[in-house]
C-alpha cells in the first residue's frame, strides 16, 4: 500500500511543478520591474495575530495548533495580514509608499475542490501608504499585465467598490443577520432572493430600488454602469465610491488595460478587511476567480501605524489549472543535452562547458533511455566529439564543439516573460 | 465562438425547463437519438447536456456547462459556488425530515444518535448538527422511504412533493428543512467571459417569466 496523504494537499512534479515555479518567477520579475520588493513572512504565527477583528471571517478555516508553551499558533491563511503586521509594527517609518511582493504557500481548512486545496500557493503585491485612485489603478494594471505576461490569452476582471455597498447599508440600518442574508443573495446574483428580502424588511421605494438596482450594476466599462450607479446612489459615501471608480478607470485607460475590466457593484463577497475598491479576475476553465484584491485602509493600523493600502493575490494553483485546461498539460522537463561518458574522462569538462554556454545539460550515468534525449554528445578521446542531433551523428572538433551545437532554444521561462 | 453549454436535469424537470426556455425564444435541442447526452441546439448557438439532476450544479461549477437548470435542493446539497440569477416556476418541492407514523410524539432534539437515511447527506448533516443532534447518516441513492420500513433508519430526510409517497409508506413529515424549486445557475467565470451571449439569454427568460407571472 502506498502511503496516503491528507485531504487538501497535492504533490507537484514534472511539468506542473516547473510551470508553477515559472508562474511565480514571472510574477516576481514583473513586480520587481514595477518596484515591488520581496517580503517573506513566517509560515506560522500567533493565531490571534492572524485573527484581527477585520480578518475574522477566516477563523473557521484556520489551521491552529499549540506551541510547547500552550500558546495557539496558526498557519497563515493569506499573506496580506502578515504583511500588514510587519509594516504596521516595524516598517511604518520607512519612506512611503512601500511596495512589496510575496509568494508562498497558505493554508485554509475548506472543502477541497478543483483548484481549491487546503494548502495552496499565492503570490501577490501590496502597495502601502497611498490612498489615491492612482495607487488603486497601479495594482489593477499590474495584475492585468501580469496575467498577460503569464500567457493567459483570455481573462476578465470585475471591479467593484465596497464603499457603495457600505453606503447603502448605512442607510438601511439592517442587523448583522440581515446584512449576511443580503450579502449571500447578492453573491448568488439571485434577484428573487434579494427582492424577497427587501419585501420582508418593508423598505421604502427609493431604498428598495437601490438594493435591487445593485444587481443591474454590472457590465463592461463605458456601458453606462457607473452613470446608473450614480443615479441610484443615496448618499455621499455611495457617490464617492462611484467617483473613485471613474478616476481609477481613467488611469487604467492610460495603462491601456481598461478593456479587461467590467464593473460589478454587486460583488460584495470579499475579505472583511477591504474598505474600497475590490476586484477579481476570471479566466475560462475554472469557475472561481484566479486573482483577488482590493483596498484595505484599516488593516495595517490594527498592528500599529495607520497606513492606507491596496493589493492583490494571485492563486497560482488555480492559474496553473486554468492554463492546463486551456493549453493542455505542460511537457515534462527534459535536459536539452545529454553528455555520454568516455574513457579519457573529458566528458566531465564537456558537460561543464555546455552548462556555461547556457545548455541544460545532464551527464549520462547509465540507465538513461537515449531516445528521450534528442541531442547527445560523446567525446571520442581523439580530439573530436560525436554530436547526435535527432538521430543524425557527425564528428566535430573538441575545441569548438559548443559552437557546433544547434542554436540554443530559449528555455521555457522566457516564453512567459 | 464556441456555443454556450446548458446542463439540463434528466427526467421530468427537463420537460418543464425546455418548455420555458422555448417560450423565451432559446433555440431548442435538435431532435436526435434520445440516448445522446450532448445535443446541439437547432440554430447551433447552444449545446445541451443531459445529466443527473443532482449533478447539474457540479457541471456548472466546474465550467463543463456555462448555464444549468437545477433544483435549489441540488444546488445547496452540492454547495455549488455559482450564480443563481433566476428562480423558475416549476419543480416546487420541499426537503423534509420524516419519520414512521408510529414514532412517539417527542421533539427531535431529544433524539440520541438517530439513524437518518437520505440522498442529501450534506444538508441532512448540516440540519441535525446545527441543532446539536449527532445523527448517524445512511447514504442511499433512492427508495429512501424504505429505510424505516426495514428498520435500517429511524428517520429520513427526503424531497416531498405531494406527500403521497410518504403516506403510502406510512411515514409522516416532521420538519421542513428547505423549500425548493427550479433555479437557473451560471458558472462564475462564464458569467463574465461570455456576458455578451449569456446576458441576452437571461433577459429573454426573465421577460417571459414576468409576462407569465399571475401578478402581472
Candidates B79, B81, B193; nearest CB to A288: B81
User: What strand order describes the sheet that includes A37-38?
Assistant: A37-38, A98-107, A119-128, A309-315, A291-295, A277-282, A156-161, A261-264, A218-220
Candidates B63, B87, B183; nearest CB to A287: B63
A115: nearest CA partner in chain B: B62
Percent of chain A with pLDDT over 70: 96
Mean pLDDT confidence for B171-191: 95
Report CB contact under 8 Å: A189, B81: no
Q: Where are the domains of chain B?
A: 4-91+181-212, 93-179
Q: What's chain B's length in residues?
A: 216
Alpha-carbon span B71 to B84, nearest angstrom:
11
8 A C-beta contact, residue A383 and residue A334: no
DSSP A116: B
Chain A residues within 8 A of B188 when measuring between CB atoms: 282, 287-289
Please confirm whether the linkage preceding A144 is cis (ω < 30° from 0): no
Q: How far is A125 from chain B (nearest CA, A)?
A: 23
Q: Enumerate the β-bridge partners of residue B137.
A: B116
Q: Inform me whether the pLDDT recorded for A84 exceeds 90.
A: yes
Is A11 buried (19+), middle (13-18) or exposed (0-12) by CB count in 10 A? exposed
Report CB contact under 8 Å: A111, B81: no
pLDDT at position B104, please?
Answer: 87
8 A C-beta contact, residue A297 and residue A244: no
B64: nearest CA partner in chain A: A285
According to CATH, the superfamily of the domain at B93-179 is: Periplasmic binding protein-like II (3.40.190.10)
8 A C-beta contact, residue A164 and residue A231: no
Chain B residues within 8 A of A288 when measuring between CB atoms: 81, 188-189
Q: What is the CATH number of domain A337-397?
A: 3.40.50.800
Residue (of A313, A308, A302, A296) closest to A50 by Cα position: A302
8 A C-beta contact, residue A318 and residue A155: no
Report CB contact under 8 Å: A188, B83: yes
Domain B4-91+181-212 has CATH 3.40.190.10: yes
CB-facing half-sphere around the CA of B134: CA atoms within 13 A: 2
Report CB contact under 8 Å: B193, A193: no
8 A C-beta contact, residue A333 and residue A411: no
Residue (of A169, A149, A139) closest to A252 by Cα position: A139
Candidates B81, B85, B189; nearest CB to A284: B189
8 A C-beta contact, residue B8 and residue B51: yes
Is B187 part of the contact surface with chain A (CB cutoff 8 Å)? yes
Alpha-carbon span A78 to A59, nearest angstrom:
12
Helix (H) or strand (E) holding A179: helix A176-187
B88: nearest CA partner in chain A: A192
Mean pLDDT confidence for A317-326: 91
Q: How far is B168 from chain A (nearest CA, A)?
A: 34
Alpha-carbon span B12 to B91, nearest angstrom:
9
Percent of chain B with pLDDT over 90: 73
Chain B residues within 8 A of A116 when measuring between CB atoms: none
Q: Inform me whether the pLDDT recorded for A272 exceeds 60.
A: yes
Report CB contact under 8 Å: B61, A287: yes
Alpha-carbon span B108 to B8, nearest angstrom:
36
pLDDT tens digits, one per residue of A135-183: 999 999 999 999 999 999 899 999 999 999 999 999 998 998 999 999 9
Alpha-carbon span B133 to B113, nearest angstrom:
7
8 A C-beta contact, residue B37 and residue B53: no
> Does this complex have an ipTM over 0.90?
no
pLDDT tens digits, one per residue of B40-70: 999 989 999 999 999 999 999 988 999 999 9
Mean pLDDT confidence for B78-95: 95
**By three-state DSSP, how is residue A88 classified?**
helix
CA distances from A77 to A64, A96, A127, A297, B75 (A): 11, 27, 20, 20, 27
CATH among 2.60.120.260, 3.40.50.10860, 3.30.465.10, 3.30.930.10 for A14-327 = 3.30.930.10
| Interface test mutation site (partner A, options B91, B184, B188, B196, max chain A beta carbons within 10 A) | B188
Is B56 part of the contact surface with chain A (CB cutoff 8 Å)? no
Helix (H) or strand (E) holding B208: helix B195-212
Is B195 part of the contact surface with chain A (CB cutoff 8 Å)? yes
Q: Enumerate the β-bridge partners of residue B96.
A: B158, B176
Cell 528521450 identifies what position?
A372
- The answer to whether the B4-91+181-212 and B93-179 domains have the same CATH topology is yes
Mean pLDDT confidence for A34-52: 92
Q: Inform me whether the pLDDT recorded for B195 exceeds 60.
A: yes
User: What strand order describes the sheet that includes B136-139?
Assistant: B136-139, B115-118, B155-160, B93-100, B171-180
DSSP A336: S
Q: Where are the domains of chain A?
A: 14-327, 337-397
Q: Which of A24-33, A195-204, A220-229 has the highest mean pLDDT?
A: A24-33
Q: Inform me whether the pLDDT recorded for A415 exceeds 50.
A: no
Is B191 part of the contact surface with chain A (CB cutoff 8 Å)? yes
pLDDT band for position A104 (cuts 50, 70, 90): very high
- The answer to whether the A14-327 and A337-397 domains have the same CATH topology is no
Is B60 part of the contact surface with chain A (CB cutoff 8 Å)? yes
Residue (of A310, A374, A380) closest to A338 by Cα position: A374
Terminus-to-terminus CA distance in chain A, angstroms? 43
Q: How many CB pairs under 8 A join A and B?
A: 60
Amino acid at each position: 500500500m502506498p502511503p496516503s496523504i491528507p485531504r487538501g494537499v497535492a504533490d507537484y512534479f514534472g511539468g506542473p511543478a516547473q510551470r508553477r515555479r515559472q508562474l511565480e518567477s514571472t510574477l516576481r520579475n514583473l513586480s520587481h520591474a514595477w518596484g515591488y520588493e520581496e517580503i517573506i513572512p513566517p509560515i506560522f504565527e500567533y493565531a490571534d495575530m492572524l485573527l484581527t477583528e477585520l480578518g475574522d471571517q477566516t477563523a473557521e478555516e484556520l489551521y491552529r495548533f499549540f506551541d510547547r508553551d500552550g500558546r495557539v499558533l496558526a498557519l497563515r491563511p493569506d499573506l496580506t495580514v502578515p504583511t500588514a503586521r510587519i509594516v504596521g509594527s516595524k516598517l511604518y517609518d520607512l519612506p512611503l509608499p512601500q511596495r512589496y511582493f510575496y509568494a508562498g504557500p497558505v493554508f485554509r481548512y475548506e472543502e477541497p475542490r478543483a483548484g481549491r486545496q487546503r494548502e495552496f500557493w499565492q503570490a501577490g503585491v501590496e502597495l502601502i501608504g497611498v490612498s489615491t485612485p492612482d495607487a488603486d489603478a497601479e495594482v489593477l494594471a499590474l495584475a492585468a499585465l501580469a496575467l498577460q505576461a503569464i500567457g493567459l490569452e483570455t481573462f476578465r476582471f470585475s471591479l467593484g467598490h465596497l464603499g457603495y455597498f457600505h453606503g447603502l447599508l448605512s442607510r438601511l440600518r439592517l442587523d448583522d443577520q440581515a446584512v449576511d442574508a443580503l450579502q449571500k443573495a447578492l453573491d448568488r446574483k439571485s434577484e428573487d432572493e434579494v427582492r424577497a428580502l427587501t419585501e420582508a424588511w418593508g423598505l421604502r421605494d427609493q431604498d428598495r430600488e437601490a438594493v435591487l438596482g445593485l444587481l443591474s450594476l454590472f457590465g463592461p466599462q463605458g456601458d453606462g454602469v457607473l452613470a446608473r450607479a450614480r443615479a441610484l446612489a443615496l448618499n455621499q459615501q455611495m457617490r464617492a465610491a462611484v467617483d473613485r471608480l471613474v478616476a481609477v478607470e481613467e488611469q487604467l485607460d492610460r495603462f491601456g488595460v481598461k478593456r479587461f475590466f467590467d464593473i460589478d457593484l454587486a460583488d460584495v463577497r470579499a475579505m472583511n478587511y477591504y474598505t474600497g475598491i475590490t476586484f477579481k479576475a476570471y479566466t475560462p476553465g475554472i469557475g472561481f476567480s484566479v486573482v483577488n484584491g482590493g483596498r484595505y485602509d484599516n488593516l495595517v493600523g490594527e498592528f500599529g501605524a495607520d497606513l492606507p493600502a491596496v493589493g492583490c493575490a494571485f492563486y497560482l494553483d488555480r492559474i496553473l489549472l486554468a492554463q492546463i485546461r486551456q493549453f493542455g498539460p505542460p511537457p515534462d522537463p527534459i535536459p536539452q543535452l545529454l553528455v555520454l561518458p568516455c574513457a579519457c574522462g573529458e566528458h566531465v569538462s564537456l558537460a561543464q562547458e555546455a552548462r556555461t554556454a547556457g545548455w541544460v545539460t545532464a551527464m549520462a550515468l547509465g540507465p538513461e533511455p537515449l531516445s528521450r534525449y534528442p541531442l547527445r554528445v560523446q567525446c571520442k578521446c581523439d580530439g573530436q566529439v560525436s554530436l547526435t542531433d535527432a538521430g543524425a551523428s557527425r564528428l566535430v572538433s573538441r575545441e569548438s564543439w559548443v559552437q557546433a551545437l544547434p542554436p540554443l532554444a530559449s528555455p521555457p521561462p522566457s516564453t512567459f516573460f | 465562438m464556441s456555443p454556450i453549454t446548458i446542463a439540463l436535469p434528466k427526467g421530468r424537470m427537463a420537460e418543464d425547463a425546455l418548455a420555458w426556455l422555448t417560450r423565451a425564444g432559446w433555440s431548442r435541442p435538435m431532435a436526435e437519438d434520445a440516448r445522446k447526452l450532448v445535443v446541439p441546439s437547432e440554430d447551433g448557438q447552444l449545446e445541451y447536456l443531459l445529466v443527473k439532476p443532482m449533478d447539474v450544479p457540479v457541471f456548472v461549477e466546474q465550467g463543463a456547462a456555462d448555464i444549468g437548470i437545477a433544483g435549489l435542493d441540488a444546488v445547496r446539497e452540492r454547495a455549488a459556488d455559482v450564480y443563481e440569477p433566476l428562480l423558475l416556476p416549476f419543480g416546487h418541492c420541499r426537503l423534509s425530515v420524516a419519520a414512521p407514523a408510529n414514532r412517539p410524539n417527542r421533539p427531535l432534539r431529544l433524539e440520541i444518535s438517530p439513524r437518518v437515511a437520505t440522498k442529501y447527506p450534506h444538508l441532512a448533516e448540516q440540519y441535525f448538527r446545527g441543532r446539536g443532534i449527532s445523527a448517524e447518516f445512511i447514504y442511499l441513492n433512492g427508495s429512501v422511504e424504505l429505510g424505516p420500513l426495514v428498520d435500517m433508519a429511524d428517520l429520513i430526510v427526503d424531497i416531498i412533493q405531494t406527500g403521497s409517497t410518504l403516506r403510502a409508506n406510512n411515514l409522516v413529515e416532521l420538519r421542513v428543512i428547505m423549500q425548493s424549486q427550479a433555479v437557473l445557475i451560471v458558472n462564475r467565470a462564464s458569467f463574465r467571459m461570455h456576458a455578451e451571449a449569456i446576458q441576452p439569454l437571461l433577459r429573454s427568460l426573465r421577460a417571459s417569466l414576468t409576462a407569465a407571472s399571475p401578478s402581472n
